[in-house]
Structure 1
Amino acid sequence: MSLQHSVQFGEFILCPVNQQLQTPEQSITLEPKVYSVLCYLLANHERFVSLEELHQQVWAGRVVSDTAVRRTISKLRAALQDQTDTPQYIQSAAKRGYRWLQPPQPFHDETAFTARTADVVVPSRHVAVESAKPERSTQPHLSTGAMDKASLAARWPLLLALVILLFAVIAGFMYQHHTSSLWQRGDPLRTIEGEKLSLAISPDKAAIVFSSNSTNHPGQELYWHHRATGVTRHLTSGNHQIMWVEFHHDGQSLFYHDFQQGLYQLYQRPISANGQWQGPAKALLAPQPVMFQLKQIPNEEKLFISMGNKDSMQIQQLDLTTGELEPVTHAVIGNTQDYLFALSGDSSMLAYLRMTTGQPQLLTIMHRETGRVLKQTIYPDRVFSIVFVDEERLLILDEHVLHLMHWPSGELQALDSNRGEHESSVRGLSRFVVRSGDNEWLQNRIVGDVGGFVNHQGPIGQFTSRTLLNTDTQTNAMYFTTEPDQFLVVERNDQISRLLLQSSGGRRNTVLEVQDEQLSVQGIHPDGELVLLLVNRKPHLFNLPQGKLSPLPVSSHLWQQAMFEASGEAVILNYIEHGTPVSWRYQLDTMQSSILHQGERVVAVLASNEFIVLRQDDQNFARVRDGQQEILPVQTLQQFVGSIHVRDTKLYWGETDLKHTWIYRYDLARGELEQWQADRRQMLQSFDISPDGQRWLLRHTARVDTQIYPVTSKL
């Protein structure tokens, strides 16, 4: 949906050449969908346009949620500075849609746009464009030759603007090329093969310590590497899962945390300059449910740690002298994760990333001592590493790009791609960047033909007969349908989530697409036609044959999980309220909802009065029947329990300890338990059982190799 000529309404002029809204003060470039919606509203300004009509006309019949359309309208309103309560341009009415209030008028002075466009791209050319405008003739009649000259003169500003635009494109290309030259990777260090998750460099920059798995040691172990000699030493062995490592500021000891038996233990251990342990490890804290990044404050006996539990994680300061913990960041609501942070060179500023359920990810820069927030901005992409370059600039390594950010202004400059050459290639090739000197850095990067995640299916009871499913690296999750050899696949590319139907041979068909929204499959109705989804934590039903997405009319909680009853007559919805699990039952035919259970998470529903819960205190399964609870003689052993399913009278679930994957089956009628184990180094991501209970489907991490590259920069 587009325009052939420019139009004017209110103080705005809409130019179809560059899809810009122009005012005397500014030019606003519209996103493609926002521009298309505006054009359609302008073309139909005499009447209301419904959401369904916008679906069909702007999105060309592609299935998108009503929320995505409303968000596009909100973006258009923001560009127009239009208010919903006192609208000047867009009127909305319940069940009717949207109506454009200002009739558009033709605008003929196209040279105004070329002048403004040239002004935006190359400011120094604006005077030349303006001076090239022909003066209006006062003659009542022109000869043919004079008309040709006048026509040429009238076209001259447009031609000049095109030349300027061409130079701007060439300059932009040269600028991008120059940008990439700011970040030059050298030859990789000669270290062991394996996936390297974290890296620390000694204060004298002579040695590095990293955590990695290898073919000889399936766990995530510590290695010491001397940069000058290339000597590599194996520091730990056995069955460790060391996720993060950090040097003490004197270089004489290491901090690291080890994940064992579902908890994280923080250690400090002395080490020599040649990579030899000088004594036993000392536990610094009691075991913690969740622990992520570590950072020693230079020249202070204090350690910053991001830690907490499954629902909330904040940055805390550990006094190494007294052992006291003090919170650095605070959250007033639950489901908040302050997971990644960086300290400035003088330790006066702290930058950290916060993820809160149902809200955009925030990057915050604050004064460390006073807690005063200096800057807060939305950063939409998943981030692996942030580092201060200087007081005003940050390196931000996200799943797409390594950015240099000038945080006071929010300006971003791309330094290095963090994905493969093609759009469908793996994202997040690098996971960390560490300063190794003045204008020198160390960066890890995945090498070889890897996919990041692998999808396997196989018969119940064994792993040896499994087969690899044909999926690409962008697959977020995969599920069985009621049809043989057909699967539901969830993908997310950039800001778009898609639901696809895929055959076992690899053929795919997109059935649903939502923009700027998180999409997860929760279950398939027994009839095979309805798919239960969470879209931004809101429950929806998607009708596969009709291609129709419908929200469930339930309260606006941030639902964490949803499932069908075994009969398909109702949907069960779970959320957390003040740390306590609450489950609701929504009856599909009557559209009535009521609380089903509180205190434990409902994980499977056998009938309207019978369901399975996972107890929080002892991680035991229990069957609740007519309000009476019976503890089952099975206990989950690991913290990370995957999807839980009931097929016939059997209960299935998957577990992972970040090193292995197990699948369990418990016969509710006979009381029998079976267990079978996947290969090592295959961490469980998602798990499903076919409707007939004959096959399993796993998505897990693939084996990858990362190398460490020295980088020279001109930042």
Structure 2
Amino acid sequence: MVTSHPAKYALAEYTLDTGNYSLLFNGKTIPLEPKVFAVLVLLIQEYPRFVTLEQLHQQVWQGRVVSDTAVRRTISKLRQALSDTDSANPRFVKSQMKRGYALVINPVVIDKPAEKTLSSAAASAGIPAAKLLVKRRFPGPVMFFLMVLLLISLGISWYQFSIRPLSPQQSALASVALAAGESLIDIPGEKVDLALSADGRFLAFSASIKGHGSWQLFLHDRLSGQIKPLPTIGSHAVTTLSFIRSDSAVVYIDIAGERCRLYLLDLKENAQPQLLVDQQFSMGNVIYQSALDRLIFNATAHQGDNGYYYSYDLASGKVQQLTFSAASMIVDIGGSLSPDQQQLAMVRYRGQHDEFRLQIYQLASKQLLQETALPVRATQIQWISADQLVLLDQAGAAWRYQLSNQQLSEITLDGKNRIRRLFISSEQQLLAIVRPVVERSYIEASWPDRQTQQFYRFSNPPHDLAYSPDPQKLWLTLRQGDEYQLLLYDINSQQQQQVLILDSDFQLLGQSPDQQYLLLKMKKRLWLLQLSNNQLKPITAQTQVVESGFFSADSQHILFTENEAGRWLVNRYLIAAQTTERFTQNYRLFIPFANEYLAVEPQGQFYRVDSTLQQVVKQDAKMMFDVPYQVNIHGNTLLFSNMQMADTFLWQFSAQQPGLSQQILPRNEIDPRLSISPDGNKVLYFNIQRNNDRIVNLGKVI
């Protein structure tokens, strides 16, 4: 299977050039329609496997409603382009009833750019370097969400590009010291985004000053020192904004429930905001291209779909899709225009490979000029000069990136703050929303009244803490240098028993009810740890893209979900037999509890499914996958928590009752990554304090 994006493929006497979007025969170009081209690329990627009609619908037509006849007509056009018209003896594309279509000959990769990777022999084999330790005692005292919207964007158009991964020398993370300077906004509350007018006088920002449920757009006049709220319509959260038209207006994206709306607010007129775009699910950063008087923004119509970049013409109101992709699980975020507004830089997250790539596009020709594998998990870009970018990663660190030599260097702060959002002024001043770094501690409280019982603090704060089946012991995960450790913490003795050390970050998904196994997720794979002998082994393959997994009540098997070519499948791993079988499909989460299942569709809709898989009952709950969530099961009750904007949503399902109970709590009161004790009477969660973000000028970065 072809998993990278080489420039050319040889198919007998034909050459497919993905860079030039062309099919060549003896040096002559054979014109292909975009869908025909996308089908051929998909068949190459899936060789020698068959591609079903469903896969073609999902990956080429992106789930749009088209008839099977239209799909078959596209296949017919592909065969005609390849002069493959003898259906009895196909040379290139064969078909089989109920299986779909497949290539007959092996596509040969030619002119493939080299990629260097940094990995040990163990990592190359897909096995992390693990040190399983003998039990000993010593005294001791899911990612940051890709953005609240991991906002979805631009699929790749098939144009010329060059993939330039960073070499070990180029990816050395040098340090560039930069002291914090002027504090621009220091009022209490959480800040989400900022924009500065071209003359530097006006600073617009979105903030929650009053706390839970109260978001507002503000304008700060730096000349007079005044800060005033701007009129918004029904704001739940103003997530991104930009000055436009010589700073006479502001555009912003407002989120209310599952709807995102793009508004224009005229600053010179005493008027209400004008609705420009009304989108069902999520929209991302908005950029103003002044030369064409248009907005560029990324969006996705439904949760779980790919997203694309769109343009909105402010004069005509016309929305045009700018980019496309035949791949699945693609998320492009953090776009920024070059100083001459001719190029667009963005970060592409490839979910199937869990990797981040920097992409540079020429807007006029829609040509991909450069693609670089990034060693940091970047979520935002700001273009500061023709040859320099600033990147912001998930951990709140800023990086300067040189396009000419691909040098990446960290922009260091004082260690007391993390950056949440960046903005580059017209004078190349780096403005940032910064948040103080606070020591992480955990609260144990009674449930459901949440009366605090005790705090847990550690000399080396863990990034996760969870109950084990033994109420007197907690599972603790932390990072020490380049190592990630799993420990068992005894509440009474305050002793830590070291169980496992890995060289990769991992997530503890759960412990089997019989307490014999732990289920871990690491590098998009599931791993089973047998506690009796500390044996760690993978139960999914490197090629599988796994969401999560759960033990059955009898500890005999694990149900897990994976994405295969855009389709979500539910599998059952039999622990004793060490084999996997297909269980059901079309759910992104499938959770066993009591004698039934709780299932969640890729779009986030909840269902209760009986033990026969026949009775499916829709529930009045819907989650978001791109932000933290947690599943806790105790007895016949399941508690599901999910972060949605500034709130933590809690849904409780009981085997004895058909309905569910729901709570919505401010996230600064309880984090969604919580753990419930085995008896269901206590809860363990982060001690989150109210966020008081500042907007500061960090100085020039050139």
Instruction: Please confirm whether the aligned pair reaches a TM-score higher than 0.5, indicating the same fold.
Output: yes
Within the candidate set 271, 274, 287, 1:282 is matched to 274
> Which residue in the other structure is 1:328 paired with?
322
> Which residue in the other structure is 1:690 paired with?
677
Q: 2:303 and 2:604 mapped to 1: Cα distance?
A: 16
Q: 1:220 to 1:701 in 2, by over 3 A?
A: farther
Q: Establish whether residue 210 from structure 1 lines up as the match of residue 205 from structure 2.
A: yes
> Which residue in the other structure is 2:614 paired with?
628
Deviations 1:44-99 (A, max 9, x none): xxxxxx9999867xx99899xxxxxxxxxxxxxxxxxxxxxxxxxxxxxxxxxxxx
After TM superposition, list the pairs within 5 Å mapping 1:75-114 onto structure 2: none
Q: 1:317 to 1:672 in 2, by over 3 A?
A: closer
Deviations 1:215-273 (A, max 9, x none): 4665332111111221111225876211111111332222111221133222222223x
Deviations 1:313-366 (A, max 9, x none): 332222223333333343332111101111101111111111112242111122
SS where residue 471 of structure 2 aligns?
A: coil
**Structure 1 residue 392, shift from structure 2 partner:** 1.1
Amino acid at match of 2:218: Y
**Structure 1 residue 279, shift from structure 2 partner:** 1.3
After TM superposition, list the pairs within 5 Å mapping 1:151-162 onto structure 2: none
Q: 1:62 and 1:302 mapped to 2: Cα distance?
A: 63
> Which residue in the other structure is 2:105 paired with?
none
Aligned-pair identity in percent equals 18
> Any unmatched runs of 5+ in structure 2?
1-116, 137-168
> Which residue in the other structure is 1:612 paired with?
598
**Structure 1 residue 579, shift from structure 2 partner:** 4.2
> Which residue in the other structure is 2:308 paired with?
314
Q: 1:709 and 1:240 mapped to 2: Cα distance?
A: 25
Q: Establish whether residue 434 from structure 1 lines up as the match of residue 430 from structure 2.
A: no
The answer to whether the 8 A contact 2:333-2:380 is kept is no
**Structure 1 residue 660, shift from structure 2 partner:** 2.3
Q: 1:363 and 1:264 mapped to 2: Cα distance?
A: 26
> Which residue in the other structure is 1:389 paired with?
384
**Structure 1 residue 582, shift from structure 2 partner:** 1.4
Q: 2:458 and 2:552 mapped to 1: Cα distance?
A: 30
**Structure 1 residue 475, shift from structure 2 partner:** 4.3
Amino acid at match of 2:296: F
Q: Tell me: higher relative CO, structure 1 or 2? Use CA pairs within 8 A at least 6 residues apart.
A: 2
Q: 2:392 and 2:190 mapped to 1: Cα distance?
A: 18
Q: 1:378 and 1:293 mapped to 2: Cα distance?
A: 22
SS where residue 686 of structure 1 aligns?
A: coil
Q: 2:648 and 2:127 mapped to 1: Cα distance?
A: 45
**Structure 1 residue 508, shift from structure 2 partner:** 4.4
Q: 1:329 to 1:628 in 2, by over 3 A?
A: same
Q: Establish whether residue 269 from structure 1 lines up as the match of residue 265 from structure 2.
A: yes
> Which residue in the other structure is 1:479 paired with?
466
In angstroms, what is the RMSD of aligned CA positions?
Answer: 3.7
Q: 1:335 and 1:51 mapped to 2: Cα distance?
A: 21
The answer to whether the 8 A contact 2:303-2:624 is kept is no
**Structure 1 residue 548, shift from structure 2 partner:** 2.5
Q: 1:231 and 1:54 mapped to 2: Cα distance?
A: 57
**Structure 1 residue 381, shift from structure 2 partner:** 1.8
Q: 1:293 to 1:467 in 2, by over 3 A?
A: farther
Aligned length: 541
- When structure 1 is superposed on structure 2, of 296-305 and 530-539 the one drifting more is 296-305
Amino acid at match of 2:605: Q
After TM superposition, list the pairs within 5 Å mapping 1:170-249 onto structure 2: 179-180=176-177, 183-215=178-210, 218-235=213-230, 240-249=236-245
> Any unmatched runs of 5+ in structure 1?
1-29, 38-49, 64-119, 121-174, 421-427
SS where residue 278 of structure 2 aligns?
A: coil
Within the candidate set 369, 372, 387, 1:374 is matched to 369
Q: 1:444 to 1:664 in 2, by over 3 A?
A: closer
Within the candidate set 402, 405, 408, 1:406 is matched to 402
**Structure 1 residue 418, shift from structure 2 partner:** 7.4
The answer to whether the 8 A contact 1:284-1:323 is kept is yes
Amino acid at match of 1:260: A
Within the candidate set 497, 500, 505, 1:512 is matched to 500
Q: 2:281 and 2:485 mapped to 1: Cα distance?
A: 33
After TM superposition, list the pairs within 5 Å mapping 1:423-462 onto structure 2: 429-447=418-436, 450-451=438-439, 455-462=442-449
**Structure 1 residue 530, shift from structure 2 partner:** 1.1
Q: 2:293 and 2:498 mapped to 1: Cα distance?
A: 55
Q: 1:553 and 1:402 mapped to 2: Cα distance?
A: 35
The answer to whether the 8 A contact 2:525-2:542 is kept is no
| TM-score (norm: length of structure 1) | 0.68
**Structure 1 residue 297, shift from structure 2 partner:** 1.0
After TM superposition, list the pairs within 5 Å mapping 1:588-603 onto structure 2: 588-603=575-590
Q: 1:547 and 1:595 mapped to 2: Cα distance?
A: 28
Q: 1:589 and 1:307 mapped to 2: Cα distance?
A: 45
SS where residue 279 of structure 1 aligns?
A: coil
After TM superposition, list the pairs within 5 Å mapping 1:419-568 onto structure 2: 419-420=415-416, 429-447=418-436, 450-451=438-439, 455-465=442-452, 467-470=454-457, 475-491=462-478, 496-504=483-491, 508-515=496-503, 517-552=504-539, 556-568=543-555
Q: 1:360 and 1:521 mapped to 2: Cα distance?
A: 21
SS where residue 299 of structure 1 aligns?
A: helix
Deviations 1:354-404 (A, max 9, x none): 111224211112222223333222212233432112111112233364332
After TM superposition, list the pairs within 5 Å mapping 1:642-661 onto structure 2: 642-661=629-648
Within the candidate set 360, 366, 390, 1:365 is matched to 360
Q: 1:239 to 1:690 in 2, by over 3 A?
A: farther
The answer to whether the 8 A contact 1:498-1:514 is kept is yes
Q: 1:566 to 1:412 in 2, by over 3 A?
A: same
Q: Establish whether residue 300 from structure 1 lines up as the match of residue 288 from structure 2.
A: no
**Structure 1 residue 675, shift from structure 2 partner:** 4.1
Q: 1:494 and 1:319 mapped to 2: Cα distance?
A: 49
Which structure carries more helix by proportion?
A: 1
Q: 2:590 and 2:377 mapped to 1: Cα distance?
A: 29
The answer to whether the 8 A contact 1:574-1:583 is kept is yes
Amino acid at match of 1:446: R
- Which of these two proteins has the greater Rg computed from alpha carbons? 1
> Which residue in the other structure is 2:333 paired with?
339
**Structure 1 residue 301, shift from structure 2 partner:** 2.1
**Structure 1 residue 562, shift from structure 2 partner:** 0.6
Amino acid at match of 2:612: D
Q: 2:235 and 2:582 mapped to 1: Cα distance?
A: 44
Amino acid at match of 1:600: Y
- When structure 1 is superposed on structure 2, of 677-686 and 583-592 the one drifting more is 677-686
